[in-house]
Structure 1
């Protein structure tokens, strides 16, 4: 843990800075592409360090959110690179894991609720997002519609979804506020409407 935690934090910082650069840079240009790749590597670092940390501490929620967060970055970069719209086997495996993570979060929410833990709202929100995005990508893969503007929308939604996860982690770790679940869901509530607006603009 003494080694994993600093590595986990460092990867989070890299992912956050790179994601902000990708957002503000001109789309399709070198800075955007390079910052997107660095962001993905940062998210990979978060995932690689979070899994053993979750196993060591027995934190099931950390394990599931690690899968959830990495899927968003993975799917985002896959949609950026795959212009044919034809999903590979790895895409199907990834989206199934995303859907399973959503189901697992709802199960954890049920356990929290039965234990009178007010934080049950956290896995409810994350589980709903995981199932929603997972089903959307499953439908996209099934119909092979990730082409043209729709491919950009899928890329944008997943990459920004991963950014929400990073911002959430930064707020939860560094800001002490009550109720404790507020910063777990606030970035999702604030940024999701912006993603919807941006997607509508791309598809217009």
Structure 2
């Protein structure tokens, strides 16, 4: 088994762990032991997904697929950033200056610049998928630049950062499984329609979830 094939197998296996642990953490009482441990397992699985995703992106580059290389490379950076934010927001909730340190700014600017590049690539190629997800990176990056004001004005900044990052992680996890699962469940359906549903469906749900979580956990905490 070569590196590419092994990476695919490990990528899928860690994806199963990520999806399972995500929902255990999501359904468990926030702050409870099951929530904490399943969250740790989830972030560990996401790290595995990122690491196994690197050879896959390298494979796109070796195959002469620059658009796929750029897009999936950007997605790895975006997921790496949201995983880091989800982890450090909890660890550094009493030390916000550590959270908003050099690593935070490096990853934020990487995602912001990468998102802008993907938007441009999407415009050039006429690809709505690239434009939308590139814009997600740009908007998330711009929002992240306000971290110092958020820390100053909102005592629960860390919870907002954690929830926002985990919603982003959930989008990535569900896109991956819907991209594979919808084609298996609906083999006769239009491929382009399934592709858009797999990518934009979780994003739409995430926007609704973000609104609901903000109302439930954050509005009363100011």
The Cα shift of 1:171 comes to 0.5
Give the alignment's TM-score, normalised by structure 1.
Answer: 0.89
Do 2:86 and 2:161's aligned partners in 1 also have CA atoms closer than 8 Å? yes
Q: How does 1:38-57 map to 2 (within 5 A)?
A: 38-57=41-60
* Whole-angstrom CA distance in 2 between matches of 1:146 and 1:2: 49
- Which residue of 69, 86, 89 corresponds with 1:76? 86
Q: Which runs of 4+ in 1 moved over 6 A?
A: none
2:102 corresponding residue in structure 1: 89
Give the greater-gyration-radius structure (CA). Answer: 2
**Residue from 138, 144, 147 that aligns with 2:145:** 138
Partner of residue 36, structure 2: 33
State the Cα deviation string for residues 40-83 of structure 1 (Å, max 9, x = none): 11111111111221112222211111111221111111111111
Q: Which has the higher contact order (CA 8 A, sep 6+)?
A: 1
Gap runs ≥5 in structure 2: 62-68, 184-188
Unmatched runs of 5 consecutive residues or more in structure 1: 114-119
Q: CA deviation at 1:101?
A: 2.2
Aligned positions of 1:150-169 closer than 5 A: 150-169=157-176
Matched, 1:197 2:197: no
Q: CA RMSD in A?
A: 1.8
User: Normalization by structure 2: what TM-score?
Assistant: 0.82
Instruction: Give the C-alpha shift of residue 147 in structure 1.
Output: 5.8
Count how many residue pairs are aligned between Structure 1 and Structure 2. 198
